[in-house]
Structure 1
């Protein structure tokens, strides 16, 4: 225990709640006396012993249904000198916690000499439940200092607090402690342990915990599914959902939200439609959170019309639902409709929040609506009194940068009231790439390499800018730097759904069973494209292959392989939907316009930033991305 206690002391995130932080109980006594008339102790004492009075107050506490009645009962403990009675104190504290008065409960706790383990557990639980995770862990730490051994009632809430703080190191310490205390067979402890690892991003250990559990309830299954979904394990999310159903456990709202998120990330429209129908059949048709998740899924799978249709039919649309639909228009590059929807939201009497403005500003950025973006940024601050957060500044920097206003974007960053993060500087570096501003790019990259040195994307962006300028010695320098510090390049891949299965391709991939047919189709298309006037943009042969992670020819980028696979496996006229994890390169963007004209099909590509709808030789982004 001493070793664990010393480890806990190393973490400044924990605030130890002081014992007896208020002198005597004067503050508490004053706070509750105003809520009740003074009792007449002399009359009661004449007819009752101290034990009888304690029993009477205890009985009254059991009947408390509101905060006022708790305060009245609490006041009586002071009147009869029972404020230090451990039995009464813990009952009073538990009631205060139940009425969201955990700080008042803590005053009772601090005033109680040598509180029992049960009292400690309830206070740890109270702070964790209220979201004061640092204070919850502070009490857990103090409990160790007092020489008390936590039990199965303390561990779940200590782990909940670690999850709330996303502090994996502390979570592992609590895990070690519960192993020492022999609490590994308790369902609630294991469920909290599983949830902590999943929320802290260590899904592999979460799965090990899950597999070792003798009994698994809905909470355990849901934590595992949610953990997979929110950490990008999308295929595993869907597989685990099916395992849960096969085990006879009925999915709940959280598990449905998770699989819908996974379908959207995979671009798996058919699977998403199945889960939509499943949600209707299982009674979630009118659940606005589920409806919003289905909308988001359809939009991310390229079916914006289905998303809007669902939005129109939804009853009780809240700010989350409105904001989500605005975001859907934004990623599809339809900023005007996003703005129109924002105005309709105001007319409907729904007040926007900070997320709504992030969605609107992002939509303006994707559509090049510079003046509109400036107007909404001002509206947010001056009319709705919402202080801009990092996300809002990031959207504005992106908007200004895409519009070529690099100096204004730089000035905005330098005069922000909050410290800019790597995402904001990264937006400016991306703009430098678009407009070929090497001077500014080098200075921005220098900042980024200090803020997030292992993020390979920033190194690749700078390398691309050097390559476009023919500065090959500088390209080599950036490559060497990446190798030296271990900034590994992200491998590009593209996904396409066919017959309820998601197929994955990477650049130059020849491992697919239909590889010969795919390559043959690409060669056929290349010949037809050339006759129509297609000329490869060889500027992208170096730097976007860097993003793909392989030294392969432009014509075998992952999105082209996925498109060719879709063309040879679907009927003429069928839309092709592809999801890519990186930004689509300029040459592929140009080539797919030609392909859409040749095959007379709609080709929808979602990259890491937005959607591109290709039809008859044109793209919905109007080459602005």
Structure 2
């Protein structure tokens, strides 16, 4: 068989490769037939190793190191591979090596590089200037990548400037360009500005509808989420899994179980019912609406359960006071080989609080890093403070707060102040309010809680002084809140 036929066969095999074992066998055969530097054969093998889900990026690096003069394609493939990896900064490294070796970048070089720069810390702007230097400012894909780079950082002015520059040079901006602007405003927390962009879009696909729906959902504006979903269905845009998660979350936020059931029927009737993320969202929704039987039904029927599935069901049980069910789920989860995370531990702490097992909860909190490799976060401290506060162990809660290795916030201190009110501890309340006024001096609810403490203790003079202090500060009369739902 001639070398051209052998090369054609190797290319055919490489295109259908499904594992690194197969790829290594093909690569070895390429060496034996002296085709290991054949551009097309090597390109197919290299692309699989670098960017396939079944590839091996370290093997791709070994291949790259053996190339005497890698072309733009091979540099681009590595830049692309690292833009999707846990080491996006290496994309910039290979771009710089590419330039040092006088290999000319193309539009794909910048598209992949800009994607990686979206996730690189610290954020730098030098790639934008390189786009102009190499003459790629008239390539729409590159301009869209620039918009996306600024959008994911919430840099709306820069994203909009690139969008407007694209229009000035005569580019026909597309739905990707518009969606980038939409993301930029949402990442910046500018929800109303995002909606204006959404309404101005000349065309909208499921991605742009879902981006806007997710923005409303994440901003806890469930009514707008559901209204927009209805509008989406009226214009005939078919939702995807991410769309439906946002809609279910809106039902949970509203506590609207009837709407939730309607959405559930839509999910089942339209073939989404097998999707784990949607089932997880439905468990959470039914739990928040108080429909535990339906939450259990969703959980039990799931053939595949993710960590989020277990966590969702455990938290439902914990929040509704079914601590034993939460503990049983935890044992079942561990027995199934699922590794717990911070949410798992939080649900157990909530369950211990509802069960009144304070010492057991504190022991879990003290051992969570050692036993489960979970670093305590603010929500774990909040759960323990709430637990101690409910049981009247206010000094222990205060000591825990003042010794935290991470910054505290007004919510966690507010939970302790609420406990002071429940247990009538004026002295501790005064200490807590001092800290709260440092953290959030305009929050009137904390003044009110301490004033109520003074009133309950018969200390009317201090109660009146607290009222005057609140009025003088112009604080809002929003009540403090507990960290964990009662």
TM-score, normalised to structure 1, is: 0.63
Contact 1:459-1:482 within 8 A present in 2 as well: yes
For residues 199-214 of structure 1, what are the structure 2 equivalents within 5 Å?
199-214=187-202
Relative to structure 1, the CA distance from residue 255 to residue 70 in structure 2 (aligned partners, 3 Å threshold; closer, same or farther) is same
Q: Which has the larger displacement, 257-266 or 378-387?
A: 378-387
- Maintained 8 Å contact 2:210/2:243: yes
- Larger RCO, structure (CA 8 Å, separation 6 or more): 1
Q: 2:93 maps to what in 1?
A: 107
> In structure 1, what is the equivalent of residue 207 of structure 2?
219
Q: Which has the higher strand share?
A: 1
Cα separation, 2, equivalents of 1:241 and 1:345? 35
> Structure 1 residues 475 and 204 mapped into 2: Cα distance closer, same or farther (>3 Å)?
farther
Indicate the residue corresponding to 1:441 in structure 2: 429
Q: Distance in 1 between matches of 2:341 and 2:89?
A: 29
Closer, same or farther in 2 for the Cα pair 1:146/1:288, shift >3 Å? closer
Partner of 1:410: 398
Q: Deviations over 1:277-296 (max 9, x none)?
A: 11111112122211111111
Report if the CA contact (8 A) 1:222-1:255 is conserved.
yes
Residues 468-505 of structure 1 show CA distances to partners (whole Å, capped at 9, x for unaligned) of 33555555555555556554334xxxxxxxxxxxxxxx
Task: Find the counterpart in structure 2 of residue 190 from structure 1.
Answer: 178
**Deviates most, 432-441 or 271-280:** 432-441
Aligned residue in 1 for 2:76: 90
- Deviation per CA, 1:140-192: give whole Å up to 9, x if none: 35534886586643555555555655xx4x33333244334437943112112
Residue 426 of structure 1 aligns to a residue whose secondary structure is: helix
Per-residue deviation, residues 345-370 of structure 1 (Å, max 9, x unmatched) = 22333221111001111222234321
Report the Cα distance in structure 2 between the residues aligned to 1:484 and 1:186, rounded to whole angstroms: 54
Using the alignment, how far apart are the partners of 2:149 and 2:442 within structure 1?
A: 29
| Aligned residue in 2 for 1:66 | 49
Runs of 5+ consecutive residues of structure 2 not aligned to the other structure: 1-26, 51-57
What's the counterpart of residue 251 of structure 1?
239
- In structure 1, how many angstroms separate the alpha carbons of the residues matched to 2:415 and 2:184? 33
* Cα distance in structure 2, aligned partners of 1:187 and 1:301: 37
The alignment partner of 2:272 has SS state of coil
Change (3 A) 1:369 1:92: closer
C-alpha distance in 2, partners of 1:96/1:144?
Answer: 21
For 1:233 and 1:62, the matched residues in 2 are separated by 48
- Residue 121 of structure 2 aligns to a residue whose secondary structure is helix
- Among candidates 227, 230, 236, match of residue 239 of structure 1: 227
CA, structure 1 residues 416+476, in 2 after alignment: closer, same or farther (shift >3 Å)?
Answer: same
User: How far did 1:249 drift?
Assistant: 0.7
Q: Contact 2:151/2:181 (CA < 8 Å) preserved in 1?
A: no
- The residue number in structure 2 matching 1:120 is 110
Decide which structure has greater helix share: 2
Could you list the per-position Cα deviations for residues 168-226 of structure 1 after superposition, in whole angstroms to 9, with x for gaps in the alignment? 4x333332443344379431121122123234432111110000000101001001111
User: 1:75 and 2:65 equivalent?
Assistant: yes
* Contact residue 72 and residue 106 of structure 2 kept, 8 A: no
CA distance change for structure 1 residues 109 and 264 in 2, over 3 Å: closer, same or farther?
same
Listed one character per residue, the Cα deviations across residues 389-423 of structure 1 (whole Å, up to 9, x for unaligned) are 22111111111111111111112122223232333
After TM superposition, the structure 1 stretch with the greater mean CA deviation from structure 2, 236-245 or 93-102, is 93-102
Equivalent residue number for residue 20 of structure 2: none
The structure with more radius of gyration:
1
Moved more, 266-275 or 409-418: 409-418
Please give the residue correspondences for 1:146-161 in structure 2 after superposition, counting only pairs within 5 Å. Answer: 148=133, 152-154=140-142, 156-157=144-145, 160=148
How far 1:438 moved relative to its partner?
Answer: 1.9
Alpha-carbon offset, residue 102 of structure 1: 3.6
What is the CA–CA distance in structure 1 between the aligned matches of 2:177 and 2:408, rounded to whole Å? Answer: 39
Distance change (3 Å), C-alpha of 1:245 and 1:483: farther
Instruction: Mark the CA change 1:233 to 1:70 in structure 2 (over 3 Å): closer, same or farther.
Output: same
Of residues 230, 234, 242 in structure 1, which corresponds to 2:218? 230
Q: Over aligned residue pairs, what C-alpha RMSD do you find?
A: 3.4
Alpha carbons 2:413, 2:432 under 8 Å: kept: yes
> Does residue 407 of structure 2 align to residue 419 of structure 1?
yes
Task: Verify the 8 A CA contact 2:182 2:198 in the aligned structure 1.
Answer: yes
Q: Tell me the equivalent position of 1:143.
A: 128
Query: What does residue 160 of structure 2 align with?
Result: 175
